[in-house]
Amino acid sequence: MSNVAASTSFSFRAPEPPRPAAELLAEIRERGGRVYRMRASRVFCLTGNPEVAAWLLDLGARGYSTAGLTSSEGGYLRARGGTREWDLYIDTIPVEGDLWEACG
């Protein structure tokens, strides 16, 4: 047995509350993203900006991918030799309120 006493103190910082849905959508649009809503409460964003795509993925967005369409760099080419675009489900990002309603 050890003579070392177990410490019962710990440091805990509560997570910050999620941002309001309308605020997230406004920032996405401000950064050049195009936001759309689908049936069944799905909301997605199209962007040609890799920084916006990375930011949304870091927040919890999920990339849409189809076999053979998505490249190793992420996103897809809009046309052969064209610009790259990302299609991201953003309804997976935690927000305060209803993202689908805020998008309407």
- Residue 43 covered by a domain: yes
**Are 86 and 97 contacting, i.e. CB atoms less than 8 angstroms apart?**
no
Q: Answer yes or no: is pLDDT of 29 > 60.
A: yes
Name the band, by pLDDT with cuts 50, 70 and 90, for residue 2.
low
Q: What is the pLDDT of residues 46-78, one digit of tens each?
A: 999 999 999 999 999 988 876 555 555 678 888
Q: How many domains does the chain have?
A: 1
With respect to residue 29, please indicate whether it lies within any of the assigned structural domains: yes
Residue 4 confidence (pLDDT): 57
pTM assigned to the model = 0.77
Q: What are the C-alpha distances in Å from 51 to residues 4, 28, 58?
A: 49, 11, 10
Across the chain, mean pLDDT equals: 84
Backbone phi and psi for residue 14, each to the nearest 5 degrees, phi listed first: -60, 145
In percent, the amount of the chain with pLDDT more than 70 equals 82
| Residues in contact with 5: Cβ distance below 8 Å, sequence separation at least 6, in sequence order | none
- Counting Cβ atoms within 10 Å, is residue 37 exposed (0-12), middle (13-18) or buried (19+)? middle
Domain extent, residue 35, equals: 21-103
CB 61 within 8 A of CB 46: no
Tell whether 64 is covered by a domain.
Answer: yes
